[in-house]
Chain A
Amino acid sequence: ILNVEQSPQSLHVQEGDSTNFTCSFPSSNFYALHWYRWETAKSPEALFVMTLNGDEKKKGRISATLNTKEGYSYLYIKGSQPEDSATYLCAFKGAGKSTFGDGTTLTVKP
C-alpha cells in the first residue's frame, strides 16, 4: 500500500487569510499528482493535474507546486473565501491505479 499523506488534517481560517496544504507521496514510479476539491454532499472534482517536476499550476486564487524528486506538492489558496470551504484531496497516480490521501478539510469563516 502506497503512503500518501496530507497535512494538516483540518484548517480553520478567517475570510481573506491565505493558506497552504501539503501532500507527500512516494518519489518512485510517478505518473501524475492530482488535486481534487470535494464539497460536502458532492463528488470530488479535479483542480489540477501535475506531471512534471517543478510544475506550477494556477486557477484563480488557487495554485499548486510539485516536487517529484522529494515527493511533495503544495496547494496554496490566496485570500480565502467562504466558498473555498471544502476538503482538498491529493491523489498519487502510479502504475495502474491512484492512491488518495485522507484530505485537508478547510473551513473559511466570514
Chain B
Amino acid sequence: NAGVTQTPKFQVLKTGQSMTLQCAQDMNHEYMSWYRQDPGMGLRLIHYSVGAGITDQGEVPNGYNVSRSTTEDFPLRLLSAAPSQTSVYFCASSTRSGSSYEQYFGPGTRLTVT
C-alpha cells in the first residue's frame, strides 16, 4: 500500500499559469479532500469528494477546480495561478465504513507563485 501519494512535491509557477496537482490513493477510500496550509493557520478545506463523480466546495474554493472520475484519483487544478495561492497543499482520504472517518494525508505539495 502506497497510501496517499501527491505529485509534484515542489512547484514554482508564474502568475497566470495553470497546473494540476495530482493526488491518488490505493486504499479504496470514498472520501477525498484537498487542503491548503498557510503560515500561522491550520488546514483549510478547498474541495472535497464523497465518491466518484461527486465533488463539493470547501471553505476556500475560488481559483481551484476538481473532478473525481475514479475512486483512486482526485486532481486539483489551478486555473490561473495567483501569488495568493502560494501555499502547501495536502490531499487526504478517508473511508466512510464504521464511524471513524480518520483521514490519511499525502506528503504535500509546496507551491510558489511568483
Contacts and interface: CB of A to CB of B under 8 A. Distances in A.
Interface of A: 1, 6, 31-32, 34, 36, 42-46, 49, 51, 89, 91, 93, 96-103
B56 A98 contact: no
B53 interface: no
Nearest to A47: B102
Contacts, number: 59
B55 to A, nearest CB: 11
Interface of B: 33, 35, 40-45, 48, 50, 56, 58-59, 90, 99-108
A interface secondary structure, majority: strand
Contacts of B58: 97
Contacts of B48: 96-97
Contacts of A45: 105
Contact of A51 (B35, B100, B103): B100
